[in-house]
Amino acid sequence: MSTAIFPGSFDPITNGHLKTLERASKLFDKIYFVVLTNTHKKYLFDQSERVTLAKVCLRYLDNVEVVSRTASLTVDVAHELKADFILRGLRNEQDFSYERAIAALNKTQDPTLETVFMLADPTESYISSSMIKEIAIFGGNLKELVPQEVAHALEQKLLD
């Protein structure tokens, strides 16, 4: 059985994450969507809000399970969940440089753990959680960028 983790901040989950997962869900038997909280990052949505949004948006993918972890090494999360693969998305050259370094560091922690990269669909490769937040702050149209539940949550959050 092939099991992967897809770790990230997902603040919030976007159509880019969703499309990547949809495609990856055909390659692995099981994918854990791991919502992480990194101590150095500032988030718009707290951990439980990010988890709830991910659960709502991913309920149509039977072999994807959303789990929540606070600051931990990715390799430790993979071991705990008995995963052999780390899944990450690549949108552009910047992602590639960053992800290559992370993957190499993860190899020093566990050489048997493989990082698998999915190239973002061209139609989603410009979507990032940070740009989404920027568009939401200025009241822009989020329709093609995030699921409806996320657009709604952004509107609510920015009213607070």
Burial (CB < 10 A; 0-12, 13-18, 19+), residue 134, is exposed
Which entry of 17, 19, 69, 88 is annotated as an active-site residue?
Answer: 17
Beta-carbon contacts of 81 under 8 Å, excluding residues fewer than 6 positions away, are 3, 5, 32, 34, 67
Could you give the CA distance from residue 131 to residue 82 in angstroms, rounded to a whole number? 33
Residue numbers 25-64 binding ligand ADP by CB under 6 A: none
Q: In this complex, which beta carbon is closest to ligand ADP, that of residue 89 or of residue 147?
A: 89
Supply the minimum distance, in Å, between the C-beta of residue 111 and ligand ADP. 21
Q: In this complex, which beta carbon is closest to ligand ADP, that of residue 106 or of residue 129?
A: 129
17 among known catalytic residues: yes
Please give the torsion angle defined by the CA atoms of residues 154, 14, 52 and 23, in that order, rounded to the nearest 10 degrees. 160
Q: In this complex, which beta carbon is closest to ligand ADP, that of residue 62 or of residue 144?
A: 144
For position 85 contacting ligand ADP by CB under 6 A, the verdict is no
41 among known catalytic residues: yes
For position 78 contacting ligand ADP by CB under 6 A, the verdict is no
What pairs with residue 36 in β-bridges?
Answer: 69
Catalytic residue IDs:
17, 41, 91, 129
Contacting positions for ligand ADP (CB under 6 A): 8-10, 14, 16-17, 20, 88-89, 91, 95, 120, 124, 127-129
